[in-house]
Every structure is written in structure tokens, then in C-alpha cells.
Chains A and B, each alone.
Chain A
Amino acid sequence: MKASESNSADAINRIRGALGDHLLNFEKKSERRFYIDIAPETVLEASSLMFEETGARLQIATGVDTPAGIEVMYHWALDSEDCLVTIRATVAHEDSSLDSIAILCPAAEWIEREMWELLGIEFRDHPDLRHLLLDDNWPQGNYPLRKFPSGQEVAP
């Protein structure tokens, strides 16, 4: 019933191989948790690899504002291999845009709307990019989860 660790190692090796040059950094946190950094412009390809070829399930995406840029993490679950793979792309504060993966995988539609309004990430070709949680009259350019609006740390 439980997947063996070699299964997850196989799956991870396949993903690493398929990502090829797109893979910027690979971190194995434990036998069941993997973190992969990719360039922002390859998000759609990487997601297609995960969702369509690997059969992973999109758990959710998370955005984190850091001094170096906004990290967008797509958490994929490989349920039959008992491991979670986080694919991470870091976008610059000045040009925070990414390809939408909602066309590929409807599960991403809401979370992309949420990251758009809370973190100010523009999702290109999103089918329905409008406010999800905030009011429709929310002031433009005001992103509640941004901590470093211009790349500079704000005084607490």
C-alpha cells in the first residue's frame, strides 16, 4: 500500500531529467520533500510536465515576498509515490508576471486570482483574472501580502 522510497527517487529523477536546463537548483529536504527552482518563463512547461506527464496533483501555490523578489511556489503531490515536489519561480518586484497555468489545470484558477490581488503577480492569459477575496473596489497597486514594495525593506 505504501510507496517505497525508490519509487519517489525514480519519479524525481524523471522530473529532473525532463526539466533539463530549466532546472536552476534542486534541493532534497527529506525523502518525501523536494524543492526545485526554475526560471519564471518556464513555469508553464514545468507545470505541464508535472500535471500532464507525471500525473501530479496541484495541492496549491504559495507566494512569498522576499527582498530578492516574489517567490511563487507550486506544490505538487505525487500521491502514488508519497512525495511532495515544490517548484519555485522567483519573479522581480518590478516585473512580476508569470504565465497562467489555469488553462492547463483549472485547480490553479482561484489561487492565481488570489496571488494576483494579494501579491500583485500578473498572470498572463488567465481566463478570468479578477478579485477573489478582496473587494472589487480595492485600490490598484495595493498588495496586502507584499513586504518589500520596491525591493527595500519597509520600517516595521
Chain B
Amino acid sequence: MSKRTIVPIGPYHALQEEPEFFKLHVEGETVVHLDIELGYNHRGIEKLSESKGFEETVFLAERICGICSTSHPIACVQAAEDAGGIHVPERALFIRSTVGELERIHSHLLWLGLAGHFLGFNTLWMWAWRFREDVLSVLELVTGNRNHYGMMKPGGVRRDINDTDIPAIFTLLESLKDPIAMFRDAVIEDPLLHARTRGIGVLSREKAIAYGALGPTARASGYDIDVRRDHPHAAYGMVDWDVITCENGDVFDKAVVRILEMFESIRIIEQCLNQLKTVTGPIDSNPRFVAPGEGIGHYEAPRGEVFHYIRSDGSNRPVRHKVRAPSYMNVPTNRETVLGETIADATIILAAVDPCYCCTERMAVAVDSPGGGRLWGAQDLIRMSCEKTYELMKESGLRGPAPPPYAAAGHTRNWGR
């Protein structure tokens, strides 16, 4: 029996925004067990929320995540509205969906770029993030902010979308279609990405159901769930769009689902904007209080269903505010997908569920087994992944033996001294 070694990834690491600690138990190169530790970034938001008024809880919810910064507020206000039986004007529903779908596009482009980076496909990274900037410009035009939009409130939205802005948004959306089609072709037709992601990190449909997987992680495994369709809310019941699913559940299918979803998001936004031209009226029902009761709000964030539960006793603060982010359900599926794979593939598999990513440049040093000598940092793991890509390139004759970028750079920054 070969010796078992633990390769810790985290708690601070390039693969995830929040500090999480993955302990990869490996025998040789093969991962045989995964232990996940949380809590390094526990902020006590549920408890903090009990000391905030209902309008303030929305801002707090917005700060749960920098990338899903409109998904949590939508779920939060829907929970308050469900608890208090608050009416929302139709125009506000279209604005909610518009902002939500713009967020989905920027989040998927962010993931696509990082996935390319981890595979040593840095061109994809640069291009994806270049076009993500355009989406952020649209968001700035619509909400006034590139991130943390501050748009949602119980009973409606805070800012209207001006009719005069709509043509500019259409133009920007139109200009996104070709780049997204380019990404689709780059991923679907690239033989190298096939070699690195096909059949890697497979999550079966049965396991996806057992773990309660959500969003693209579930849909890539053929588990056809989407809260936007199954439990219509905001404007999703009033526009025409499709739920994207794949069958294999590997890293490749997770990428395909996300890329194709961006086209659906553009479809939804275009229909919402057209509706906004004719649906007039208030954007806010100005509720004065949240009646006693309990409410559930859920919204399909880019990573899957965000769930908020609020209990009100009729005062201006929630008695209990429970938040469940999609990664809470998706991250445990790594225990299944990473088994039997190699360390070089673990990087992209752990990244494939799209755990939030903001703090990508933070890292910890990975240490070998007790007494072990070798140190692996985030850069090393990415380098190993890049090297595998280059090996495959050489084997398939796609490219000559070029040095992997990180090896060439020697991991050190030259500050010109």
C-alpha cells in the first residue's frame, strides 16, 4: 500500500474567494479523500442581521458576496415580502431581472477567465475579463455602481432605468454577442480544453441530487433545476428563455452550461428592456412595515439558488434571518468529483463549482505531510496544472515544447531592481 500524504489547499488560496481549507489526501498523484474545513471567514451575518432594520438587512445581504451582490438582496427582499405580504409593482420586477441577469453574465465571464487561467490558457483569461469590463459598464450605467448596486428594497427597487439609457444598453448587449460566441467556439472546439476537462471531475446525477447541488453544477450533471423557471419570481415568468442542461457532469460540461447561459441572460435582458418601454408605473410600493410572519425568498444566483428565510414579529427588525448561499451545497460535491483524480486536475475540479473568487491573489503555502519537506503554494498548483496542459500540447503536436509561463517567470516578480 502506498503512503498517504495530505496536501492542504488553503485556508487562503487562489482557488476561492472565501478562505476555505481543502485537505487533499493523496496516494502518489491520486486523490483518495477530501476533507473540507470552513469558518475562516465566518462573519456572523445572520446574527448581525437581527440588529438591523428590514431596509438595512438588504444592504447587509448585499455584502455577503461581492460577485453575487444582487442575488442575495433579491432573495432577501423576497423573503421580507413573503413574510409581510408586500406587493411589488410590475416595473420593479423587470428591473430586478435585468440587474440579476447582467450580474450572471459578469460572474460567468469571471469564472471562465479564471478557469482558463488555471488551465494555462491565459489568452482566454485576458479576453474573458476584457469583455466582463463591458458588462460592468452596463451595470454602472443602470445602477450607478460596477458592483454592490444597492438596487433592491422590500417592495421594489431603489432606482429606475431611464428610457434614454435603454438604447445604449442594447448597443452594449449587442456588442457582447460576438465575443461570447467566440468563447463558446474557443471552449467547444479547442482540442486541448477537451483533453483537460472532458471526463474530469465527473459529478453523477444521483450524487448531484443527494448533495442538493445547485445551479450550473447541478445542470451540467443533467439535474434539471432552475429556481427562475421552477418557482417563477421577479420577471422570469413573463419572459421567454430556456434552461441549459448537459449530461456528463464533468468540468467541460460545467463550462458549456455557463457559456450558453450567458446567451439566455442576454435574451432575458433584451425582453425586460423592451417591456420597460411600455410597462410604466411606480417602482416601489413603499411598505411601511413587515407584518408578523415568516417568509422564504430564493433566487437563482450565478452559482445556484440563494436561499433567505426571514421571521418577523411585526417590529422593524427580523427575529431570525437565515442565509444559505449556493456554494454551501456545491462545495461538498468536491468530495465526490475529486476522488481518483490527480493533483494537477484537482485545481480545475475544485474551481469548477465556481466557489466565489474575489480574493484570487491571496494564497497560503501548502505543506507536505508531517515532517515533509516540500512546499507547494498556489502558484505551484497552478504551475502543475499549466505543465500538464503543455505536456498534452506536445503530445498532440499542437505546439512545440514551450516552457510553461509560471516556470519561465520563476515565480518571482522583478521590480526593476
With A75-B309, A82-B230, A105-B212: A64-B82 Cβ-Cβ less than 8 Å: no
Q: Is the CB of B322 within 8 A of A33?
A: no
Q: Is the CB of A57 within 8 A of B46?
A: no
B126 in the interface (beta carbon within 8 A)? no
- CB neighbours (8 Å) of A109 from chain B are 332
Q: Which of B209, B320, B324 contacts A59 (CB 8 A)?
A: B324
A53 in the interface (beta carbon within 8 A)? no
Q: Is the CB of A64 within 8 A of B319?
A: yes
Q: Is the CB of A79 within 8 A of B225?
A: yes
Beyond the given A134-B42, A144-B47, please list 6 additional residue pairs across the A-B interface where CB-CB is below 8 A: A2-B237, A59-B298, A64-B319, A75-B296, A82-B231, A107-B332
Q: How far is the CA of A86 from the CA of B298 in the complex (A)?
A: 14
Q: Is the CB of A60 within 8 A of B322?
A: yes
Q: How far is the CB of B235 from chain A (nearest CB, A)?
A: 14
A18 in the interface (beta carbon within 8 A)? no
Listed residue (A32, A57, A86) with the most chain B CB atoms within 10 angstroms of its CB: A57
Q: How far is the CA of A145 from the CA of B38 in the complex (A)?
A: 18
B375 in the interface (beta carbon within 8 A)? no
- CB neighbours (8 Å) of A60 from chain B are 307, 309, 322, 324, 328
- CB neighbours (8 Å) of B295 from chain A are 33
Q: How far is the CA of A33 from the CA of B295 in the complex (A)?
A: 9
- CB neighbours (8 Å) of A87 from chain B are none
Interface string of B242-271 (1 = CB under 8 A from A): 000000000000000000000000000000
Q: Is the CB of A1 within 8 A of B39?
A: no
Q: Which of A9-32 contact B (CB under 8 A)?
A: 29-30, 32
Q: Which of B309-343 contact A (CB under 8 A)?
A: 309, 311, 319-320, 322, 324, 328-329, 332
| Chain B interface main SS type | mixed
| Chain A interface main SS type | mixed
Q: Is the CB of A110 within 8 A of B328?
A: yes
| The 3 A-B residue pairs with the shortest CB-CB distance in the complex, in nearest-first order | A107-B212, A133-B39, A60-B324
With A33-B296, A105-B210, A105-B212: A110-B47 Cβ-Cβ less than 8 Å: no
Q: Is the CB of A33 within 8 A of B311?
A: no
Q: Is the CB of B46 within 8 A of A145?
A: yes
Number of B interface residues in the complex (CB < 8 A): 33
- CB neighbours (8 Å) of B211 from chain A are 106-107
Interface string of A97-123 (1 = CB under 8 A from B): 000000001110111000000000000
Q: How far is the CA of A2 from the CA of B322 in the complex (A)?
A: 27
B44 in the interface (beta carbon within 8 A)? yes
Q: Looking across the interface, which residue of chain A has its beta carbon closest to that of B85?
A: A30
Q: Which of B388-411 contact A (CB under 8 A)?
A: none
With A60-B307, A62-B309, A134-B39: A84-B296 Cβ-Cβ less than 8 Å: yes
A80 in the interface (beta carbon within 8 A)? yes
- CB neighbours (8 Å) of A32 from chain B are 231
Q: Is the CB of B230 within 8 A of A64?
A: no
- CB neighbours (8 Å) of A38 from chain B are none
With A2-B232, A107-B211, A144-B47: A57-B225 Cβ-Cβ less than 8 Å: yes
With A60-B324, A64-B320: A106-B210 Cβ-Cβ less than 8 Å: yes
A selection of 10 A-B contacts at a CB cut-off of 8 Å is A2-B229, A35-B294, A57-B209, A60-B324, A64-B311, A64-B319, A75-B296, A77-B298, A106-B210, A107-B212
Q: How far is the CB of B368 from chain A (nearest CB, A)?
A: 22
Number of A interface residues in the complex (CB < 8 A): 35
Q: Which of A64, A77, A110 contacts B231 (CB 8 A)?
A: A77
Q: How far is the CA of A30 from the CA of B294 in the complex (A)?
A: 12
Q: Is the CB of B44 within 8 A of A131?
A: no
A89 in the interface (beta carbon within 8 A)? no
- CB neighbours (8 Å) of B284 from chain A are none
- CB neighbours (8 Å) of B38 from chain A are 110, 132-133
Q: How far is the CA of A41 from the CA of B242 in the complex (A)?
A: 43
B103 in the interface (beta carbon within 8 A)? no
Q: Looking across the interface, which residue of chain B has its beta carbon closest to that of A134?
A: B39
Q: How far is the CA of A75 from the CA of B320 in the complex (A)?
A: 15
- CB neighbours (8 Å) of B232 from chain A are 2, 82
Q: How far is the CA of A131 from the CA of B82 in the complex (A)?
A: 32
Interface string of B111-145 (1 = CB under 8 A from A): 00000000000000000000000000000000000
Q: Which of B190-241 contact A (CB under 8 A)?
A: 209-212, 225, 229-232, 237
Q: Is the CB of A79 within 8 A of B296?
A: no
Q: Is the CB of A59 within 8 A of B231?
A: no
A46 in the interface (beta carbon within 8 A)? no
Q: Is the CB of A58 within 8 A of B296?
A: no
- CB neighbours (8 Å) of B62 from chain A are none
Q: How far is the CB of A35 from chain B (nearest CB, A)?
A: 8
A135 in the interface (beta carbon within 8 A)? yes
- CB neighbours (8 Å) of B209 from chain A are 57
Q: Which of A30, A33, A58 contacts B212 (CB 8 A)?
A: A58
B305 in the interface (beta carbon within 8 A)? yes
Q: Is the CB of A75 within 8 A of B307?
A: yes
Q: How far is the CA of A145 from the CA of B44 in the complex (A)?
A: 10
Q: How far is the CB of B128 from chain A (nearest CB, A)?
A: 31
Q: Is the CB of B39 within 8 A of A107?
A: no
Q: Which of A40-93 contact B (CB under 8 A)?
A: 57-60, 62, 64, 73, 75, 77, 79-80, 82, 84, 86
